[in-house]
């Protein structure tokens, strides 16, 4: 069984996120860690970029999507990003961690993690 992954770590995005009125008028930082199931063996054998998951394209798609939408909850960000990647890149599985470092003053970070499969 192949358990290969492509990881995009620390993808930092400024967006409108939050449930409070004051949050709806500012941009806040989210940090995403994305782990995607992908068979890396063909690229490893061929040394051909055409056999890779285009992680730069995936990253830019996520940045564009999150920057251009408004969210109340980080849970919603995670669900929407997971759905987009699963559909647009036909990957079988994804794990996403969405961090909102400024959510709790006394905490270094607040985050949620989800895992989803392409059914």
Query: Known catalytic residues?
Result: 100
**Interatomic CA distance for residues 111 and 42, integer angstroms:** 34
Round to whole Å and give the CA distance between 28 and 55.
Answer: 24
Question: End-to-end alpha-carbon separation of the chain, Å?
Answer: 18
Residues sharing a CB contact under 8 Å with residue 19, sequence separation 6 or more, in sequence order? 72, 73
């Amino acid at each position: 069984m192949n358990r290969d992954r492509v990881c995009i770590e620390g993808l930092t995005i400024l967006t409108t996120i939050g449930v409070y009125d004051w949050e709806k008028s500012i941009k806040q930082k989210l940090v995403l860690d994305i782990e995607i199931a992908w068979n890396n063996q063909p690229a490893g054998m061929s040394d051909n970029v055409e056999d890779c998951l285009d992680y730069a394209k995936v990253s830019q798609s996520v940045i564009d999507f999150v920057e251009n939408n408004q969210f109340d909850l980080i849970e919603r960000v995670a669900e929407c990003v997971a759905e987009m990647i699963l559909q647009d890149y036909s990957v079988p599985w994804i794990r996403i961690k969405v961090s909102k470092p400024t959510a709790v003053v006394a905490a270094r970070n607040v985050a949620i993690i989800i895992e989803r499969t392409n059914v």
